[in-house]
Amino acid sequence: MSTLTQEIERRRTFAIISHPDAGKTTLTEKLLLFGGAIHIAGAVKSNKIKKTATSDWMEIEKQRGISVATSVMGFEYEGYKINILDTPGHQDFAEDTYRTLTAVDSVIIVVDVAKGVEMQTRKLMEVCRMRKTPVIIFVNKLDREGRDPFEILDELESELKIAVRPLSWPINIGQRFKGVYNIYEKNLNLYTPSKQVVTESVEFTDINNPELENYIGESDAERLRNDLELISGVYPDFDKNDYLKGELAPVFFGSALNNFGVKELLDCFTHIAPAPLPINAIERQVKPEEEAFTGFVFKIHANMDPNHRSCIAFVKVCSGKFVRNENYKHIRHGKMMRFSSPTAFMAQKKSVLDEAFPGDIVGLPDTGNFKIGDTLTAGEELHFKGLPSFSPEMFKYIENNDPMKAKQLNKGIDQLMDEGVAQSFINQYNNRRIIGTVGQLQFEVIQYRLLHEYGAQCKWEPISLYKACWIESDDNAELENFKKRKYQYMAKDKEGRDVFLADSAYVLQMAQSDFPKIRFHFTSEF
């Protein structure tokens, strides 16, 4: 086996997704703990412990206790190189999460045992289903009172529209929680509330052995045997191929906060999860084991280090080997570029890396060369597809609050817009700048980051708009006519493309029927 093939085989790149508060960031922390990447887990919600979660490093995240940006972390575990992308659960940042799903090979979904499947989880699962991404489900917070595990399994099947197969099973729940039986490895993991680790793990191949009563008592032992019999009767045996095709989701139970059931998840995950997979470009399919390097930008983050005002473009390596200081072709600009300080990440801590393999995420310092969706190759003309920018649903005028700081404000807006958090349009009628977002929270984040990272103050002014749509037509006369008639509602996006700002659903419908030769797009990827 060549070193390239070996490196690809040991890579596991995945995202953790869930509804806010299901315990996603806590699970990420515990996985990092096993990888030796951090030595103390930050209690995300507690004010007593000033050590906040490693993956939530932006100021605003520490104050709110939520994740607003996808962070990337890599670590080694038992011979595997694991890359985790922790995504925001808050629906205002769904777009960041959708894009992240294009850069991973598999997904772990976290579900709260008390709340079950929530709206946001359903939406994210649709994206996974569309892309046939393999999914593992982790049912969290078993140390709290919650619902019956069988009820949760039924809900997972009906809500997420996927077959499930438990690979571990809880022994009671809440106050009476005694641990989990690991069906995949046939052993018993016992839980003691005060200690934050699995206190004892017992090989238990024969569940009918009377020894079981000594560990968990008579009634729980009987219930566990009945449950396991029911599971093997009702659910299909675990088939790795069905999982890899995205048709079957293995389910694990545990408590991320108490570090319980997490190692079982990680051990099984490293064995069954897919190594980096081929990715479709518009021209052809790109296989990871090809010699030539290819990769695409799926995220841009402004100001990772406030002292340097730099942006970082996150590149997913799709094939070949990325080498520091080599020349690579930036397809959209059609020019060769070389990178002297590419970085690898552990949340905010970064280290310069000399080489990276398929599945790895590389950070490239960016001075405005990159946009989301850009392709880098060793020279071949390729375009990776499937990184949409959605039509915003909320709009506000942005105004400068401090005339002395106009330059900082404009620079800040340009950099934050390149991250794809929001979109900016210039109204052609009054030349005012409009910011469009998918959710209310983004306006607060933009205002906060402009002030704290760029020293610029902005204020928002209301504007009533329904939707922004990109327009194009093969008939120039028709296009000009449309722009004349609607000139109050015409704007340009930051690429200089024509955007029609409809102020109601009715106006949009009328425009579509009055101008049949014009195409209206609701994502900016035509």
Tell me what pLDDT residue 200 has. Answer: 57
Q: Looking at 243, 272, 301, which one is the last position of a domain?
A: 272
81-85, 97-101, 181-185, 483-487 — which is least confidently predicted? 97-101
Tell me what pLDDT residue 36 has. Answer: 65
Looking at per-residue confidence, does 524 or 234 come out higher?
234
Instruction: State which H helix or E strand residue 105 sits in.
Output: none
Max Cα separation, the chain? Answer: 85
One domain for residues 373 and 402: no
193 within a domain of the structure (yes/no): no
pLDDT over 80 (residue 437): yes
Report the predicted TM-score, pTM, of the whole model to 2 decimal places. Answer: 0.73
Tell me what pLDDT residue 492 has. Answer: 92
Q: Per-residue confidence at 69, pLDDT binned at 50, 70, 90? A: very low
pLDDT over 70 (residue 70): no
One domain for residues 21 and 168: yes
Instruction: Render 463-476 in DSSP notation, one character per residue.
Output: ----EEEEEEES-H
One domain for residues 24 and 107: yes
Q: Looking at 317, 343, 377, which one is the last position of a domain?
A: 377
pLDDT over 80 (residue 155): yes
Structurally, the chain folds into a number of domains equal to 3
One domain for residues 253 and 310: no
Q: How far apart are CA 419 and CA 496, in angstroms?
A: 18
Strands (E), 179-284: 179-182, 187-190, 200-203, 248-253, 279-280
Tell me the chain's radius of gyration from C-alpha atoms.
25
Give me the domain span that covers residue 484. Answer: 394-521
Tell me what pLDDT residue 262 has. Answer: 84
Q: Do residues 252 and 152 lie in contact, with contact meaning Cβ atoms separated by under 8 Å?
A: no
One domain for residues 150 and 283: no
| β-bridge partners, 436 | 395, 423
pLDDT over 60 (residue 51): no
One domain for residues 344 and 259: no
8-22, 46-60, 86-100, 257-271 — which is least confidently predicted? 46-60
Q: What is the CATH number of the domain that holds 488?
A: 3.30.70.3280
Tell me what pLDDT residue 346 has. Answer: 57
User: Per residue in 331-355, pLDDT tens?
Assistant: 888 889 888 888 876 544 567 788 8
One domain for residues 323 and 425: no
34 within a domain of the structure (yes/no): yes
One domain for residues 96 and 80: yes
Average per-residue pLDDT for the chain: 79
One domain for residues 140 and 103: yes
Q: What is the CATH number of the domain that holds 28?
A: 3.40.50.300
Q: How far apart are CA 518 and CA 449, in angstroms?
A: 38
One domain for residues 455 and 309: no
